[in-house]
Amino acid sequence: MRITCPICGERDRREFYYRGAALDRPDPEAGQEAWDDYVYLRDNPAGRTRDLWYHDAGCGSWLVVERDTVSHAILNVALALDADA
Ligand SMILES: [Zn+2]
């Protein structure tokens, strides 16, 4: 799998470190159940996902990568700073 870093260009996925699902953080006052879900519960979807990746062997940027877990296609890559929350 190859990921196109917005700064460095197309690179092998081994240059990146997977950091998990890119989730929307609940409001600080959302309550214990919302925070428990955010911290501990994850879906394991077959299809489109939105994940955080760190370009460890490159520019050190945090990226939001949209990909398809079935076809392994990379659908979009954006700097986490620019991605919608
Ligand atoms: Zn990079």
Distance from the alpha carbon of residue 43 to the mean position of ligand 1, in angstroms:
27
Report how far apart the first and last C-alpha atoms of the chain are (Å, whole number).
Answer: 25
Confidence category of residue 23, pLDDT binned at 50, 70, 90? confident
| pTM, two decimal places | 0.82
In 3D, which of 48, 51, 54 has the Cα closest to residue 64? 51
pLDDT 10s digits, 24-82: 899 999 999 999 999 999 888 899 999 999 999 999 999 999 999 999 999 999 999 98
- Alpha-carbon separation of residue 2 from 21, 39, 41, 80 (angstroms): 18, 29, 28, 18
Distance from the alpha carbon of residue 47 to the mean position of ligand 1, in angstroms:
25
Distance from the alpha carbon of residue 30 to the mean position of ligand 1, in angstroms:
34
Confidence category of residue 85, pLDDT binned at 50, 70, 90? low
Give the model's pLDDT for residue 84: 67
Provide the phi-psi class of 75: left if phi over 0, else alpha when psi is between -120 and 50, else beta.
alpha
Count of all residues that appear for the chain in the document: 85
Give the model's pLDDT for residue 43: 85
CB 29 within 8 A of CB 37: no
Distance from the alpha carbon of residue 29 to the mean position of ligand 1, in angstroms:
35
> Which class does domain 2-25+44-79 fall in?
alpha beta
